[in-house]
Amino acid sequence: MKAAVIVFPGSNCDRDAADALTWVTGRPPAMVWHTSNELPNVDLIVIPGGFTHGDYLRVGAMAATAPIMGEVFRAGIRGVPVLGICNGFQILCETRLLPGALMRNASLNFICREVNLKIETTATPFTRSYPDGALVRLPIAHHDGNFFADEETLNRLEGEGRVVFRYVDKAGKRVPAANPNGSRNNIAGIANAAGNVLGLMPHPERAIDPATGGTDGTALFAGLHEALR
């Protein structure tokens, strides 16, 4: 699998994402600067977390207008897998590769902790290696993870099985108490209709090393590697 990590001014999980990809594929991804007009020929595009352009104005908004995002958009439409983590998810919503928007956490506070998640579908290249209905623990670290979409969009997302990660309690139940940020329907991650574009607030790249935060993110990268070999 050949991967590219898009780097914007203010990206700060780019190294973490590259490390995770290197670890699983055995080779470092291409790091692509935001002003580039060209994407290398890759099997996977990762938009990492961070505070692109300081998240000033609106999270992800300025990054979404970067020259490279036109290429990413076209690649996403073509079916190239695109993974947006945290700020990457916010950017994908702003480019409209994914529906909805991410708003300020309901508590208004930045939240950094581990959350329980249910993998609602394994019918994506990102989740194919997880068992059906798997419960996983991943860290979140964000100020704006409160997913919003209008009723119609939500129904479509739910109806088409495009909610991929959901905040749940230890037993796997979708309860308000398990929702860290006020997200609609406890949504933590969604896919586009074709399933090749995934955006999620939790950080799978921070969960591949038992020394630092568990290994529940491993299957995501390993699954991609297998699928895109």
Partner 1 sequence: MTGSPQITMEMVRQHGLSDDEYGFVTNTLGREPSLTELGIFSVMWSEHCSYKSSKVWLKTLPTAGPQVICGPGENAGIVDIGDGQCAIFKMESHNHPSYIEPYQGAATGVGGIMRDVFTMGARPVANLNALRFGAPEHPKTRHLVAGVVAGIGGYGNCVGIPTVGGEVGFDAAYNGNILVNAMCVGVASTDKIFYAAASGVGNPVVYVGSKTGRDGIHGATMASAEFDDATDEKRPTVQVGDPFTEKLLLEACLELMEEDAIIGIQDMGAAGLTSSSVEMADKGGVGIALDLDKVPQREIGMTAYEMMLSESQERMLMVLRPGREVDAAAIFEKWGLDFAVIGKTTDTGRLVVHHNGDLKADIPLHALGDGAPEYDRPWVEPKLAQALNIDTVPPPDSLLGALETMMGAPDLASRAWIWSQYDRTIGGDTVSPPGGDAAVVRVHGTAKGLAMSVDVTPRYCFADPREGGKQAVAECWRNITATGALPLALTDCLNFGNPERPQIMGQFAAAVTGMGEAARALAFPVVSGNVSLYNETNGEAILPTPSIGGVGLLTDIAMRCDIALKSDGDTLILIGPDGSHLGCSLYLKIIEGRGDGAPPRVDLHGEKIAGDFIRILIGEGAVNAVHDISDGGLLVAVAEMALAGNIGADIRFTNKEIASFIQAFGEDQGRYVVGVPDGGAHKVLAAARAVGVPVRLLGLAGGTELKVTGEMPISLQGLRDAHQTWLPDYMAGAQA
Partner 2 sequence: MKAVVKIRLKSGVLDPQGKATQNALEALGFSGVNGVRQGKIIEIELEGTDAGAAREDVDRMAQALLANSVIESYEIEIDGQ
Give the binding site for partner 2 (CB under 8 A).
Answer: 53-54, 56-58, 61-62, 65-66, 93-94, 99-101, 103-106, 108, 146, 148-150, 182
Contact partner, 51, from partner 1, partner 2, none, Cβ < 5-8 Å per class: partner 1
**Nearer to partner 2 (CB atom), residue 81 or residue 88:** 88
Q: Which residues contact 82 (CB under 8 A, 6 or more apart)?
A: 44, 45, 46, 47, 72, 75, 76, 92, 97, 196, 197, 198
The CA–CA distances, whole Å, from 49 to 63, 83, 154, 185 equal 12, 11, 24, 23
What is the greatest pairwise CA distance in the chain? 46
The answer to whether residue 13 is catalytic is no
Q: Using the rule CB under 8 A, is 206 a contact of partner 1?
A: yes
With contacts defined by CB under 8 A, how many residues of the chain interact with partner 1?
29
Residue 226 to residues 35, 97, 132: CA-CA distances in angstroms? 31, 24, 18
Which 99-128 residues touch partner 1, going by CB under 8 A?
109-113
Known catalytic residue at 86: yes
Binders of partner 1 among residues 137 to 176 (CB under 8 A) are: 139, 141, 143
Q: Which entry of 34, 53, 71, 86 is annotated as an active-site residue?
A: 86
